[in-house]
Amino acid sequence: MKTSLPILSLIVFTVVSAPGLAQANDTSIDDQLAYWSARAAAPGDARRGEAFFGAKHGNTWSCASCHGLPPNTAGQHADTGKRIAPLAPSVNPKSITRTAKVEKWFRRNCMDVLARECTPGEKADVLAYLGSLK
């Protein structure tokens, strides 16, 4: 079966552009916020995100325990002491750029902070907060 180049290009573009499918591609904080807001069926809220980021949620750590509050300077892992690059995209434009990494770190860090995965709404709120930092 022979496929024409324009149709093949359209198929490749569609797969690469589809949210959630092209997880290895670069995105922006705005793309990530839109992605998680759509999954939450509500827009992310920066004020809720800031409160969530600084709260301990019944555990020993908060997001700010390692990333700082606000997270616009280098942080340090609370247990290992390993340096963590600034999380705020305004300071570190590469911090929220790959969907697979964003999902990996949300999964891991939410388990550390909440002892469960974050909801799409919590992720959207945190991303709204991170995107609001200047």
Type of residue at 36: W
For position 115, what pLDDT does the model report? Answer: 93
- Whole-number Å distance between alpha carbons of 119 and 105: 14
For position 5, what pLDDT does the model report? Answer: 46
For position 54, what pLDDT does the model report? Answer: 95
Query: 76 - beta bridge partners?
Result: 83
pTM: 0.80
Q: What CATH architecture is 26-132? A: Orthogonal Bundle (1.10)
For position 98, what pLDDT does the model report? Answer: 87
For position 16, what pLDDT does the model report? Answer: 42
- Whole-number Å distance between alpha carbons of 3 and 90: 43
For position 27, what pLDDT does the model report? Answer: 87
Integer-rounded Cα radius of gyration of the chain: 17
- Pick from 110, 111, 103, 63: nearest CA to 87: 63
Q: What's CA 31's distance to the chain center, in Å? A: 10
CB-based contacts of 40, cutoff 8 Å, min separation 6: 119, 120, 121, 123, 124
User: pLDDT of the chain along its 134 residues, tens only?
Assistant: 454 444 434 333 433 444 444 444 578 999 999 999 999 999 999 999 999 999 998 888 999 999 999 999 999 998 899 999 999 999 999 889 888 889 999 999 999 999 999 999 999 999 999 999 99
